[in-house]
């Protein structure tokens, strides 16, 4: 059977008290709905429909993944009504997996286990969970033989049914033909005046359709987000689980409760990560990388044995092996450090290559520049790369020495083994082995009377 996935995401999320739809709130830097879509994608579905309502434009703007069938539900009249809006997009011979846009951490393995239970048009499957505190959830009602015969919502349940601890997670698999037959039969005569998707379970039981259940490994997989408190709690638990995986791979966190991984982090072994480090996007760390406190590292590659000192910010940069960065360094997009390069405190590097063993140790701006090997940049050196309209390049070849507080007005080339005298404003190329000196001459006025 084909697989069609329907993600219910029309709810406003009143308890978030937010101008943006709940499913766009972020867990580990990624919208809740995107987490769900990413696990859905792992199942290689034939189609994915997202039922949206409140803030639909914002949702479509932020979830840019192609191939989504966007289905509008103008009024939120219940989960059955939500699925009804998606019915026209479902193939008759497919099985339909219903997911919730605000339940972000369901593992694709769990969903695969659930999907395996539906092999024909005569069976459906519900993901359930047995909870110590089932409060608020729909309860699974079973007959004395243990077969599921229905789901009763908390608000419609009898005192006896409220004692049932097996709950409906809301995630289920139903053949499309059955959905198309049963959805139009749903009624809204219940405590909430809504069309409940869960009422199809009773119809299935009455019509002799087999109803299987499957449970996730952890309760976290089925937890929905309704408030910012729940979101913050889930964030910490999720972050801890990410850190646990990295620790198993040979990473030391000085305190895993004070690190955030918002994206994909891959690491070698013997990596040490101090507190308050934030990783965003795709970050790859080699072995023996050390990261001091308060660093932000986004979409970057950091090679083996590199040390990143405190308070450094690295964004879309490539740093190879044995480098030293910071404290207080900023690598901006397009910064590339070759083996053994050093970038020290209060240095900003943008779209520049720093060659092997080269050093930019203090208070410098290097932009649109290419540095060869063993270049030494004195404190306070600035590449003047911008004339207000265009950007220009600065080239420094091997073994160049730039004296402190120099301005290199691009476009300009400093050739091999050349030296620039401290305090120079260099506007012309400096040839190989030469000294470039461009500064006002000092004049001393003798016996100067102080005011
Ligand atoms: C639902 C289930 C309940 C289950 C619980 C699990 C029904 C009737 N009840 O209850 O058995 O234990 O989830 O969390 O299905 N949504 C729409 N359109 C609507 C209504 C809801 O898109 O008109 C979406 C919501 O955005 C949400 C999901 O469906 O993602 C569930 O809706 P919610 O209102 O939270 O259902 P519950 O009452 O919690
Ligand atoms: Mg709910």
CA of 122 to the centre of ligand 2 (A): 28
Nearest CA to ligand 1 atom 36: 79
371 φ, ψ to 5°?
A: -105, 135
Catalytic residue among 35, 81, 246, 362: 362
CA of 137 to the centre of ligand 2 (A): 8
258: three-class secondary structure by DSSP = helix
CA of 263 to the centre of ligand 2 (A): 27
Pocket flag, ligand 1, residue 137 (CB < 6 Å): yes
| Cα–Cα separations (whole angstroms), residue 346 to 40, 309, 313, 330 | 44, 12, 11, 7
Helices (H) and strands (E) counted in the chain, each on its own, are 7, 38
Nearest CA to ligand 1 atom 25: 11
Pocket flag, ligand 1, residue 49 (CB < 6 Å): no
Please state, in angstroms and rounded to a whole number, the distance separating the CA atoms of residues 197 and 179. Answer: 9
Distance separating the N- and C-terminal Cα atoms of the chain:
93
pLDDT in tens, the chain (451 residues): 999 999 999 988 899 999 999 999 999 999 999 999 999 999 999 999 999 998 899 999 999 899 999 999 999 999 999 999 999 999 999 999 999 999 999 999 999 999 999 999 999 999 999 999 999 999 999 999 999 999 999 999 999 999 999 999 999 999 999 999 999 999 999 999 999 999 999 999 999 999 999 999 999 999 999 999 999 999 999 999 999 999 999 999 999 999 999 999 999 999 999 999 999 999 999 999 999 999 999 999 999 999 999 999 999 999 999 999 999 999 999 999 999 999 999 999 999 999 999 999 999 999 999 999 999 999 999 999 999 999 999 999 999 999 999 999 999 999 999 999 999 999 999 999 999 999 999 999 999 999 8
* CA nearest neighbour of 76 among 84, 68, 87: 84
Domains and CATH numbers, the chain: 2-222 (3.90.550.10), 228-436 (2.160.10.10)
Nearest CA to ligand 1 atom 37: 137
Tell me 442's DSSP state: P
CA of 382 to the centre of ligand 1 (A): 58
Please state, in angstroms and rounded to a whole number, the distance separating the CA atoms of residues 316 and 323. Answer: 16
**Which ligand 1 atom is nearest residue 82's CA?**
18
160: three-class secondary structure by DSSP = coil
Please state, in angstroms and rounded to a whole number, the distance separating the CA atoms of residues 93 and 88. Answer: 13
Pocket flag, ligand 1, residue 167 (CB < 6 Å): yes
Pocket flag, ligand 1, residue 154 (CB < 6 Å): no
Pocket flag, ligand 1, residue 195 (CB < 6 Å): no
**362 noted as active-site residue:** yes
CA of 224 to the centre of ligand 2 (A): 7
Please state, in angstroms and rounded to a whole number, the distance separating the CA atoms of residues 35 and 42. Answer: 11
131: three-class secondary structure by DSSP = coil
Pocket flag, ligand 1, residue 138 (CB < 6 Å): yes
């Amino acid at each position: 059977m084909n697989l069609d996935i329907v993600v219910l995401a029309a709810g406003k999320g009143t308890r978030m008290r937010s101008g943006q739809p709940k499913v766009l709130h972020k867990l580990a830097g990624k919208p809740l709905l995107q987490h769900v879509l990413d696990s859905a994608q792992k199942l290689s579905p034939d189609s994915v429909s997202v039922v949206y309502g409140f803030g639909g434009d914002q949702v479509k703007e932020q979830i840019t993944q192609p191939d989504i069938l966007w289905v509008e539900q103008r009024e939120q009249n219940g989960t059955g009504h939500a699925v009804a809006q998606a019915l026209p997009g479902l193939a008759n011979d497919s099985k339909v997996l219903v997911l919730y846009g605000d339940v972000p951490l369901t593992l694709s393995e769990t969903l695969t286990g659930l999907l395996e239970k539906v092999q024909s048009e005569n069976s459906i499957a519900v993901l359930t969970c047995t909870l110590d505190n089932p409060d608020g959830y729909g309860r699974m009602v079973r007959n004395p033989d243990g077969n599921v015969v229905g789901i009763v919502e908390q608000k419609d349940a009898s005192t006896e049914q409220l004692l049932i601890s097996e709950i409906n997670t809301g995630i289920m698999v139903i053949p499309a033909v059955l959905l198309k037959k049963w959805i139009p039969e749903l009624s809204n005569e219940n405590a909430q005046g809504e069309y409940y998707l869960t009422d199809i379970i009773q119809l299935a039981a009455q019509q002799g359709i087999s109803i299987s259940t499957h449970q996730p490994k952890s309760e976290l997989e089925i937890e929905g987000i309704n408030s910012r408190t729940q979101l913050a709690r889930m964030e910490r638990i999720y972050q801890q689980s990410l850190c646990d995986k990295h620790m198993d791979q040979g990473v030391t966190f000085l305190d895993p409760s004070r690190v955030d991984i918002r994206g994909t982090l891959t690491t070698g072994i013997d990596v040490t990560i101090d507190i308050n480090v934030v990783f965003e996007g795709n970050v790859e760390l080699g072995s023996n990388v050390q990261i001091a406190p308060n660093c932000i590292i986004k979409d970057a590659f950091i090679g083996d044995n590199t040390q990143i000192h405190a308070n450094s910010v690295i964004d879309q940069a490539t740093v190879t092996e044995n480098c030293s960065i910071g404290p207080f360094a900023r690598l901006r997009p397009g910064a590339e450090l070759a083996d053994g390069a050093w970038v020290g405190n209060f240095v900003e590097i943008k779209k520049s290559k720093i060659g092997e063993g080269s050093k930019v140790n203090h208070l410098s701006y290097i932009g649109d520049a290419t540095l060869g090997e063993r270049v030494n940049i004195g404190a306070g050196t600035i590449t003047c790369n911008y004339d207000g309209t265009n950007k220009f390049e600065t080239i420094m070849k091997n073994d160049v020495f730039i004296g402190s507080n120099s301005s290199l007005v691009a476009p300009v080339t400093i050739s091999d083994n050349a030296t620039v005298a401290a305090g120079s404003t260099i506007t012309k190329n400096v040839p190989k082995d030469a000294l470039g000196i461009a500064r006002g001459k000092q004049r001393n006025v003798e016996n100067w009377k102080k005011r």
